[in-house]
Amino acid sequence: MRPRIRAIFPMILTVSVLCLFSWRSLCASSAPKGPAQLQGAYRFERANWIFVHLEGPPQQIGFQHGYLLAPEIEDAFHAIRLENTHSTGRPWDFFRATAKNIYWPHIERQYREELQGIADGAKAHGIQDMDLWDVVALNGFLETPDYYLPYLEHRARGSAPHAANPPGHCSAFVATGDWTRDHKPVIAHNNWTSFLEGERWRIIFDIEPQHGYHILMDGFPGKLDSGDDFGMNSAGIEITETTITGFHGFDPNGIPEFVRARKAMQYSSSIDDFQRIMLTGNNGGYANDWLIADNHANEVARLELGLKVHRLWRSKNGYYVGSNFPSDPTLIKEETNFNPNNPASSDNARHTRWEQLMAQYKGQIDVALAQRFLADHFDAYSKKQQPSERTLCGHVDISPRGIPEWGYPPYDPAGAVNAKAADSSMASGMSMVARIGRPCGEDFLVGQFLPKHTQFQWETPALDDMKGSPWATFRSKDHAP
């Protein structure tokens, strides 16, 4: 070895060791901190969404969920408890009892383990004011006040004075064939709900379960299922829905909707699979018109699922839209109080607008157009560009009319709170585009709203600003940039 090389060799060795140590330290810093059950799990934020990757057997997935989202779960829990107790006049113990006595007996083992894991993970991360029954009650927050409670009151008094009309949620479409630019499925959805709920509906779940298919879906902290139901799996099935307005019916001996919806997302490899899973043990809770795409078969479908009545439409060259209107005459008559002949209602006005857009853009529909549709402010009833409860991008909070058929009062802080879309190529790669907040990007500011509408001051402890955010792309096994 030459003298000069001998002189610098120790320096090279030292630098190499330091670099190796630094590289190992960097790798260690990106590894999950905390319990060993977090192995493989992680979270990051993008465009005000929180992306969480979960993997493993049910209890581990639940623990990862509860631990990584503990602050968001606690925040969501307090908001839902405030909203549900205020709207129903029932104490939170009623919701816990419903979770334990009505839902739990009909939840299969894998999802019991996951729910227990969520409770355990949240507790391990320092959340001490929630237990298993709070987590199950949180999962049932869409079913208990608007389906189970009216069922109880109907049995007790022969009528259902509380929430006789479950609120409608969402605008959505699915299309394929001659309607789309590439003749393959495009699916899109915006979530309508109270801002108390909607401000917290900002999780992108990437779930790689021990059994079933890999799932990518948006969701709510602490829930097994998406809740507003937009997602896809690695078998090429894409799913969304809109709620059936004015639906009545519930079977306390059935399987909770939040369990069936999650199972269908996890185990469906065809439209037939989806229908079978949703029908098995159907309890009527959170009754929806489900829009489905089979990306491999290039087929789309609409499953209208009541308690006693259901109907499936399917097509390889067509589209289905949703804005909380039921279509089957028997279901409308027997299980709803929906009026299909009122053109001024939110459901029917938005249905009209969907039909206009599908006709106008036939053969051109892609994700870019889907984003425009979800942010649309044209009122098909008044024939004006005017955001309101009758537009696809719903602005209930600025409406002096309210939505009587939904039970929302005038100026209720509610409306469209997020938007998602995907085309066939995105679904093939397990990806979607998503926007948190109003689909149009406009802000909702508490400081401007509450002084004008003091009847909603009760929401002050949990109502936050909901500012406009950009669209962002997410994919399975995504990582922060």
pLDDT at 157: 84
pLDDT surpasses 60 at 2: no
- Residue 3 confidence class, pLDDT cut points 50, 70, 90: very low
Q: Report the pLDDT value the prediction gives residue 5, as an integer from 0 to 100.
A: 35
Percent of the chain whose predicted confidence (pLDDT) is above 90: 87
* Cα gap 62→40, rounded to integer Å: 13
Mean pLDDT computed over 435-444:
98
Mean pLDDT, range 57-61, rounded to an integer = 98
When pLDDT is cut at 50, 70 and 90, the band that residue 481 belongs to is: confident
Q: Answer whether residue 213 shows pLDDT above 70.
A: yes
- Which of the two residues, 185 and 165, has the higher pLDDT score? 185
pLDDT in the model for residue 408: 76
Question: Which pLDDT value is given to residue 86?
Answer: 97
How do beta strands 378-379 and 384-385 pair? antiparallel
Above 50 in pLDDT, residue 31?
no
Q: Taking the alpha carbons of 386, 388, 391, 393 in that order, is the dihedral positive or negative?
A: positive
For residue 354, count CB atoms less than 10 angstroms from its CB and return exposed for 0-12, middle for 13-18, buried for 19 or more.
buried
Q: Is the pLDDT of residue 43 over 80?
A: yes
Identify the residue with better confidence: 21 or 138: 138
CA distance 30 to 43: 11
What phi and psi, each to the nearest 5 degrees, are found at residue 395? -125, 70
Backbone CA torsion sign across 387, 388, 393, 395 = positive
Q: What is the rounded distance in angstroms from the CA atom of residue 77 to the CA atom of residue 367?
A: 34
CA angle at residue 295 from 294 to 301, to 5 degrees?
30
**Nearest in space to 83 (alpha carbons), one of 42, 123, 5, 138:** 138
Per-position DSSP letters for 87-140, written without gaps between them: HH---HHHHHHHIIIIIGGGS-HHHHHHHHHHHHHHHHTT--S--HHHHHHHHT
**Average pLDDT taken over every residue of the chain:** 92
**Residue 33 pLDDT class (50, 70, 90 cuts):** low
Query: Could you tell me which residues are beta bridge partners of residue 385?
Result: 378
The pLDDT of residue 34 = 73
Closest by alpha carbon to 464, among 194, 195, 110?
195
Residue 19, pLDDT score: 37
Contacts of 251 (CB under 8 A, 6+ apart): 282, 283, 284, 307
Higher pLDDT residue, 459 or 30? 459
Sign of the Cα torsion 208, 239, 196, 92 reads negative
pLDDT band for position 123 (cuts 50, 70, 90): very high
Residue with tokens 């405030």: 82
**CA–CA gap between residue 415 and residue 394 (Å, rounded):** 5
Q: Tens digits of per-residue pLDDT, 367-421? A: 999 999 999 999 999 999 999 999 999 999 999 987 766 667 899 999 999 999 9
CA-based angle 55:169:336, to the nearest 5? 120
Core vs surface per residue 430-445: b (16+ CB within 10 A) or e? bbbbbbbbbbbebebe
- pLDDT at 10 exceeding the cut of 50: no
- Write down the CATH number for the domain with range 46-58+166-470: 3.60.60.30
Instruction: Note the pLDDT tens digit of each residue in 125-149.
Output: 999 999 999 999 999 999 999 999 9
Tell whether the model's pLDDT for residue 222 goes beyond 50: yes
The per-residue pLDDT for range 309-324, each reduced to its tens digit, is 999 999 999 999 999 9
**Assign residue 54 a region: left if phi > 0, alpha if psi is -120 to 50, beta otherwise?**
beta
